[in-house]
Structure 1
């Protein structure tokens, strides 16, 4: 946990590092379902910071993780939406490996939707 005093300036890197320590990765197979609501709160805060700073690659990664967290909670429409946005951002930045990850996660979310998981 990152302890921040009122009025203290904190870098984006500090916030991301704190979030990583709190919840290493939504895509990790070690993620427990009980961690997902907290992960979503952390990821939304990270998304807001990345949006303000214009860090599009970071936004893409956060949206991928958000989609995985939503899928883990059975919120499949939200998962699909986040993966579609991540895919679009990856295409726009020519990040093929991130585009592939987004397509993979989108496929898993759609599979879960079709099979009723």
Structure 2
């Protein structure tokens, strides 16, 4: 097996990476706040994941927990009921999983 060696980041590269990560966290936090307030629907958030890489990397469990009245236990139960893995992210949802999630939330 070949050994992979990584070169350490320069100070500038590290600073850029930290800024990019902070912007992504802020974007996800803003989306979750809009979801919680009702400004944004689950369907809109999931569809925005195709254009926004930060949203695409959001875990589905975080998305569910951002909804009013849904905590960790209920989010885990919903995901199990819909057949969505706990580690799944918005980008990783299949077409049927997206539809099932949106339909489930809309029914509630």
Larger relative contact order (CA 8 Å, sep ≥ 6): 2
Q: Indicate whether the TM-score tops 0.5.
A: no
Between structures 1 and 2, the one with greater helix share = 1
The structure having more radius of gyration, on CA atoms, is 2
